[in-house]
Every structure is written in structure tokens, then in C-alpha cells.
């Protein structure tokens, strides 16, 4: 009787964890991209297609470098970009800037150009979002429901494109601080079936990136122990049947 109760508890626990992770994956609307997989140098650009597809680029900024993303888009597309900073010790004052530049965007004032750690291509306009270092804004807290990770809300840009062409997104920090961030792009649900099925693994990767490896390891340990215990009960049950 005790064995049956213990087995039921283990089964429900394992199924509960698996269900929560898969349900979160099915509910999540963004495809997650780890920029570390690209092995980029400071001069490289991450190019992505279908810019309206919702994505979350998980990355880390080197202190004195800018990171660049590019996409090709058509006139009339609504571009929405957002930076979020993980709520980690040492990132309290990490406030990176966000820039969108390309054809048809307004020409920036000279004062904005001087803030850039890169040179704007000729005939490219730009939209820049950054905090005034002399008047920093209060930081808005964001709790991501699917991965249970907490962020500070960062810079945002929303813009309807007026020309076809190639556009660039730059993330950089005026104070030359480095740190982890996520860049959210696109408006249309971007999670595929493969993203949903592999979400448990993604959840573990994100928590290691968020420096919560212990929590991720505990989840893995619970699942591993559960499956091993279930296998043990099944083995014992088959032996009892064969002995009878």
C-alpha cells in the first residue's frame, strides 16, 4: 500500500513538472535565440529574416563594444524593439542604449551621433532610445511568466518603416559597462512546435544563463530521480509477477 502511494506521488510530481514546462512552452509566443551560439566578434552582425516574427535574443554586451542585428523589411512594417535586463547583482545600473538605423528614418542630430560607438552609414537615418545619465528613470520590474525570470524593463523603440531596405539594430552602453540583456523583436507569435517540445531544455539553459543553475539542477534531479524510481517500481513489479 505504501509503495503504491509513493509511486503515485512520484508519478504526479514528474508529470506535474513536465506539464508545467511544456505548457509554458506552448504559451510562450517568442522564439529564443542565444547569440553566444554565433561565436561573433565585435564587428559581426546577427542577421535574421522575417522581422515580424516574435523573437527573444539572449545575449551579453562587452563593455566597450556595440552589438548589431540586421534584417530586411518592406515599407509599412511596424517594428517593435525592447531591451530587458535580468535582475542580477551588478546589473543595477546597467542601462544599455538601443538604436534602429536604416533608410527612411529621421536624420539624427549631431548630439546623438556623438553618443554612438560606431559610425552611421551614409544616408541612413536613426531612432535612438537611451536614458539621460543625469536624470535616470525609475526602473520598471518585469516578471516573465513562462520562465520565472525577473527583469528590469529597458529601452523601447516602436516605428513604422517608410521604405523597403536593410535595417540595423544596435545595443551599446554609453558608460561602457557590460552585462547580460535580452532583445525582444517582432509582433507575430514566433514559437514553433519544436520550440514548444524543447522548452524544458530551453528553461534549463535560460536559468543557467540567469545564474540560477542550482534551481535548474534541482529540477533535472527531481525528473531523473522520478524516472529512475518509476523504473525501479516497474522492475520490482515484473519480478513479483514472474515469481508468482
Question: If you search the block for the grid coordinates 530551453, which residue do you land on?
Answer: 202
Name the residue among 145, 133, 150 with its Cα closest to residue 85.
150
Q: Domain check: are 117 and 177 in the same one?
A: yes
Q: Domain check: are 237 and 182 in the same one?
A: no
State the pairing for strand pair 67-73/97-102: unpaired
Q: Domain check: are 243 and 127 in the same one?
A: no
Q: Domain check: are 84 and 130 in the same one?
A: yes
pLDDT of residue 62: 84
Name the residue among 38, 52, 82 with its Cα closest to residue 183.
82
Q: Domain check: are 122 and 240 in the same one?
A: no
Residue ranges of the chain with pLDDT lower than 50? 2, 5-27, 214, 216, 220, 223-224, 227, 232
Q: Domain check: are 21 and 97 in the same one?
A: no
CATH code where residue 39 lies: 2.60.120.380
d(CA 187, CA 54): 5
Assign 113 to helix, strand or coil.
Answer: helix
pLDDT of residue 210: 79
Name the residue among 87, 42, 117, 68 with its Cα closest to residue 179.
87
pLDDT of residue 13: 47
Q: Domain check: are 182 and 200 in the same one?
A: no
The range of the structural domain enclosing residue 123 comes to: 31-190
Q: Domain check: are 219 and 181 in the same one?
A: no
For residue range 189-230, what is the model confidence (pLDDT) as tens digits? Answer: 866 677 666 777 777 788 778 765 545 455 545 544 554 555
H-only helix segments in the chain:
2-27, 110-113, 193-197, 199-209, 213-243
Q: Which of the listed residues 171, 190, 209 is the one where a domain comes to its end?
A: 190
Q: How many domains are there within the chain?
A: 2
Q: Domain check: are 54 and 151 in the same one?
A: yes
Question: If you search the block for the grid coordinates 552602453, which residue do you land on?
Answer: 173
Q: Which of the listed residues 190, 207, 222 is the one where a domain comes to its end?
A: 190
pLDDT of residue 157: 97
pLDDT of residue 36: 79
Q: Which of the listed residues 190, 213, 231 is the one where a domain comes to its end?
A: 190
Asked whether the beta carbons of 173 and 95 are under 8 A apart, the reply is yes
Q: Domain check: are 186 and 199 in the same one?
A: no
Q: 224 to each of 27, 84, 118, 230, 231, how far by Cα in Å?
A: 25, 33, 49, 10, 11
Q: Domain check: are 177 and 87 in the same one?
A: yes
pLDDT of residue 99: 96
Q: Domain check: are 139 and 60 in the same one?
A: yes
Q: Classify residue 194 as exposed, middle or buried by CB count within 10 Å of its CB (0-12, 13-18, 19+).
A: exposed
pLDDT of residue 139: 85
pLDDT of residue 209: 82
Amino acid at each position: 500500500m505504501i509503495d503504491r502511494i509513493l509511486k503515485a506521488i512520484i508519478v504526479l510530481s514528474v508529470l506535474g513538472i513536465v506539464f508545467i514546462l511544456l505548457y509554458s512552452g506552448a504559451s510562450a509566443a517568442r522564439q529564443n535565440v542565444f547569440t553566444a551560439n554565433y561565436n561573433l566578434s565585435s564587428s559581426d552582425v546577427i542577421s535574421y529574416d522575417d522581422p515580424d516574427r516574435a523573437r527573444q535574443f539572449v545575449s551579453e554586451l562587452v563593455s566597450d563594444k556595440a552589438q548589431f542585428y540586421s534584417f530586411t523589411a518592406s515599407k509599412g512594417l511596424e517594428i517593435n524593439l525592447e531591451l530587458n535586463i535580468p535582475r542580477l547583482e551588478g546589473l543595477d545600473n546597467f542601462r544599455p542604449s538601443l538604436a534602429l538605423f536604416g533608410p527612411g528614418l529621421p536624420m539624427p542630430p549631431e548630439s546623438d551621433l556623438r553618443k554612438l560607438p560606431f559610425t552611421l552609414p551614409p544616408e541612413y537615418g536613426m531612432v535612438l532610445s537611451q536614458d539621460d545619465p543625469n536624470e535616470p528613470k525609475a526602473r520598471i520590474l518585469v516578471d516573465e511568466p513562462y520562465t520565472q525570470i525577473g527583469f528590469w524593463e529597458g529601452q523601447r523603440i516602436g516605428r513604422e518603416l517608410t521604405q523597403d531596405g536593410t535595417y540595423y539594430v544596435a545595443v551599446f552602453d554609453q558608460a561602457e559597462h557590460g552585462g547580460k540583456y535580452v532583445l525582444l523583436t517582432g509582433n507575430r507569435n514566433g514559437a514553433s512546435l519544436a520550440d514548444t517540445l524543447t522548452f524544458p531544455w530551453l528553461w534549463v539553459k535560460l536559468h543557467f544563463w540567469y545564474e540560477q543553475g542550482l534551481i535548474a539542477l534541482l529540477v533535472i534531479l527531481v525528473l531523473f530521480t522520478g524516472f529512475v524510481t518509476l523504473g525501479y517500481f516497474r522492475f520490482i513489479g515484473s519480478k513479483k509477477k514472474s515469481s508468482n
